[in-house]
Amino acid sequence: MRIALFALEALPNARAVRRFVADHAHEIAFVGLSDAERPSTGGLMGQVRRHLARSGPGFLPYLAVNFGLPDLARGLAPATQRLAGTRDVPEATPLSTLCGRLGLPHATIADVNGPQTRALLREYRADLILSYHFDQIFDAATLAAVPLGGLNLHPSLLPRHRGPVPTLHALLDETPAFGVSVHRLDPEIDTGALFAQEAVALPADVTASRAAMRLHEAGRPLVEAVLARVRAEGRLPEGRPLAREPYCGFPTRAQLGALKRRGRRLVDGRDLSEALSLSLRG
């Protein structure tokens, strides 16, 4: 089975997805790395303006720690790894660098549904798509370009909190409930049949950032179990259909205000320290 792995270089998935790549290098067809500043999203400044308009400045620290810092640190990683002695530690190595060291084909993906992506799937004879914290939506034609379809890891108890920042929305609930789900990819967002799910207990002081990191790590065994079934059966499981619950998008100013009133946080100093350690030392 040849896996086409799609991921975004970011703090939430860094440990889990880098280790997955190292452990599964023998069956990864190629790695598609999302272009977070792709023109279709307005580039970096266009995204910042939209987030400011929707969420206000209170959302910027979350974006900086989870996405901005890993992106900025990527170019520094070879030097900082040499200083820290972590060159051979996958968790300390940005995905593009790790792929190069392992001899894995990889490409920056500006449009997951464009001809480049389908050409890569054909060229490297991918059988299955695995999305592990990827920020683009696969359409039906792209999913049909591989024999087995695709699966996605999502850090919530689906169908609750489908969307890009589920741990934030979990913290908005009166009693937060965290978990991770592995489900079938389909052209709608986080609605495909459920393959595996597990509730995860997290500390009361957990931030949205730290929850996302812990859940992506907790989801790795679930992904492995589903992949083992696919290898044994030669197809994705049928899965359990999910009820349709509301989509939870990026937060509004009102939602961030509600989060603050509940005494819950998007990000804190521990998250920044973890981001710096993971991005620069490993």
Do the beta carbons of residue 191 and residue 160 sit within 8 Å? no
pLDDT recorded at residue 84: 67
Q: Is residue 103 part of a domain?
A: yes
Picking from 113, 76, 77, the residue whose alpha carbon sits closest to that of residue 92 is: 77
Across 29-43, 97-111, 174-188, 266-280, least confident range: 266-280
Using CB atoms within 10 Å of the CB of residue 60, give its burial: 0 to 12 exposed, 13 to 18 middle, 19+ buried: middle
Q: In what order do the strands lie in the sheet with 150-154?
A: 106-109, 28-34, 3-7, 128-132, 150-154, 179-184, 194-199
Res. 146: pLDDT tops 90: yes
Res. 66: pLDDT tops 70: yes
Res. 14: pLDDT tops 70: yes
How many domains, the chain? 1
Q: Is residue 160 part of a domain?
A: yes
Res. 282: pLDDT tops 60: no
Instruction: State the pTM of this model.
Output: 0.94
Over its C-alpha atoms, the chain yields an Rg (Å, rounded) of 18
Q: Is residue 37 part of a domain?
A: yes
Confidence of residue 76 (pLDDT cuts 50, 70, 90): low
d(CA 249, CA 235): 32
Q: Which two tokens stand for residue 266?
A: 């998007």
Strands 3-7 and 128-132: parallel
Picking from 224, 245, 205, the residue whose alpha carbon sits closest to that of residue 3 is: 224
Mean pLDDT of 49-74: 87
Q: Residue for token digits 């996302």?
A: 212
The set of residues, in sequence order, having a beta carbon less than 8 Å from that of 193 and lying 6+ positions away, is 183, 184, 238, 239, 240, 241, 242
Q: Is residue 240 part of a domain?
A: yes
Confidence of residue 275 (pLDDT cuts 50, 70, 90): confident
pLDDT recorded at residue 73: 67
CATH of the domain at 233: 3.40.50.170
Q: Which two tokens stand for residue 247?
A: 């989509």
pLDDT recorded at residue 36: 84
pLDDT recorded at residue 114: 96
Asked if omega into 159 is within 30° of 0 (cis), the reply is yes
For 84, the domain range is 3-274
Q: Is residue 279 part of a domain?
A: no
Q: Is residue 222 part of a domain?
A: yes
d(CA 109, CA 206): 32
Please tell me which residue, 43 or 139, carries the higher pLDDT value: 139
Confidence of residue 51 (pLDDT cuts 50, 70, 90): very high
Res. 167: pLDDT tops 70: yes
Res. 281: pLDDT tops 60: no
Ramachandran angles phi, psi of 74, nearest 5°: -55, -45
DSSP codes, 225-274: HHHHHHHHHSS----BPPPP--B--SPPHHHHHHHHHTT--S--HHHHHH
